[in-house]
Amino acid sequence: MPHERLTFKEMCARFDVTPRTLRYYEYIELLSPEKEGRSRFYLSREIGRMKLIMRGRKYGFSLEEIRQWLMMYDTEGSQAQSSAFIALADRQLAELQRQKAEIEEAIAELGQLKKDISAQN
| CATH number reported for the structural domain that contains residue 103 in this entry | 1.10.1660.10
Q: How far apart are CA 20 and CA 83, in angstroms?
A: 32
Which amino acid makes up residue 80?
A
Torsion sign (Cα): 100, 103, 107, 109: positive
93-112 pLDDT, tens digit per residue, is 999 999 999 999 999 999 99
- Which residue range forms the structural domain that includes residue 9? 5-120
Global pTM value: 0.80
Paired strand residues for 39: 36
C-beta neighbour count of 57 within 10 angstroms: 13
Q: With H, G, I as helix, E, B as strand and everything else as coil, classify residue 77.
A: coil
Number of domains in the chain: 1
Helix (H, G, I), strand (E, B) or coil at 3: coil
Torsion, Cα 58 63 66 67, to 10 degrees, reads 150
Give pLDDT tens digits for 30-59.
999 999 999 999 999 999 999 999 999 999
Which pLDDT tens digit goes with each residue over 69-95?
Answer: 998 888 888 888 889 899 999 999 999
The string of DSSP letters for 95-116 reads: HHHHHHHHHHHHHHHHHHHHHH
